[in-house]
Chains A and B, each alone.
Chain A
Amino acid sequence: GQNIDQPTEMTATEGAIVQINCTYQTSGFNGLFWYQQHAGEAPTFLSYNVLDGLEEKGRFSSFLSRSKGYSYLLLKELQMKDSASYLCAVISGNTGKLIFGQGTTLQVKP
């Protein structure tokens, strides 16, 4: 079967670093996305990984290990506006179909 696991909730302090993990078991892996979703809003694209290693974009980085079926999203210098849900999603097949994890709700505290 296909399965994606993320922690349900995380809490971190403003200015700190937080790592959100995602493990997956899917067929036909074609890449992994991270999305951010603020309450009541649409998910927005954060990052894409298809090769092993780290992709850095400003305060956000995403890592992939295909052999381990594992990814993480790293958020540095946390800000209050980073309080949101973070969705891990794996591409299945070549139609762009995504399989989503349940999402991790991150709360940033002062």
Chain B
Amino acid sequence: DVKVTQSSRYLVKRTGEKVFLECVQDMDHENMFWYRQDPGLGLRLIYFSYDVKMKEKGDIPEGYSVSREKKERFSLILESASTNQTSMYLCASTYTGTGEQPQHFGDGTRLSIL
């Protein structure tokens, strides 16, 4: 089975802090994604990566950056955390290409910014 592991289930940080969320997958997937999930808004794509050291902006990249130094690891960085970044963050991965390649999700990190 595919395993996508996020480093923390719950995280509390303060406004202005630099926050790192880590995600690791064990299936040699090329594509990795970071979403945030908010009530009434669904999942919104922050950034994605289709290869090591490659990244693409999603729909809401402002205030975030990412790093993909190794194929299995994709990190989301909140450069200077703000209260409006309090949310559930979900990481996902999939093989490259079209067709029936579902994204596999981690369990999520519930981040609170105080």
Name A's B-contacting residues (CB within 8 A): 8, 30-31, 33, 35, 40-45, 48, 50, 87, 89, 91, 94-103
How many residues of chain B are within 8 Å of chain A by beta carbon?
30
* Contact assessment for A31 and B100 in the assembled complex, using a CB-CB cutoff below 8 Å: yes
Using A41-B107, A43-B90, A96-B31 as known contacts, say yes or no to A31 and B98 having CB atoms under 8 A apart: yes
A95 touches B100 (CB 8 A): no
Residue in A42, A44, A97, A100 whose CB lies within 8 Å of B48? A97
Question: Which of A31, A95, A96 is most buried by chain B, counting CB atoms within 10 A of its CB?
Answer: A96
CB-defined interface of B85-108 with A at 8 Å, one 1/0 digit per residue?
Answer: 000001000111111111111111
B96 and A43 contacting across the interface, CB-CB below 8 Å: no
Given A43-B90, A97-B48: A87 and B100 interface contact (C-beta under 8 Å): no
Q: Which residues of A contact B106 (CB under 8 A)?
A: 42
Closest B residue to A33 by CB, please name it. Answer: B102
Give the residues in chain A near B56, CB-CB below 8 Å: 95
B4: chain A residues at CB < 8 Å are: 42
Contact of A95 with B48 at beta-carbon distance under 8 Å, contacts A30-B98, A41-B107, A42-B106 already known: yes
Kindly list chain A residues whose C-beta atoms are within 8 Å of the C-beta of B98. Answer: 30-31, 91, 94, 96
Flag whether B45 is at the interface (Cβ < 8 A): yes
Residues of B within 8 A of A87 (CB): 42-43
Q: Select A31's contact among B33, B42, B44, B99, beta carbons within 8 Å.
A: B99
Q: Are B40 and A96 in contact (CB under 8 A)?
A: no
Complex interface: chain B residues within 8 A of A45 (CB) = 102-104
B31 CB, min distance to chain A CBs, angstroms = 5
B64 within 8 Å of A by Cβ? no
B101: chain A residues within 8 A (beta carbon): 96
* Chain A residues near B58 (CB-CB < 8 A): 97
Measured in the bound complex, the distance between the Cα atoms of B98 and A48 in whole Å is 12
User: Given A8, A96, A101, which contacts B96 in the complex, CB threshold below 8 Å?
Assistant: A96
Residues of A with C-beta under 8 A to B48 = 95, 97
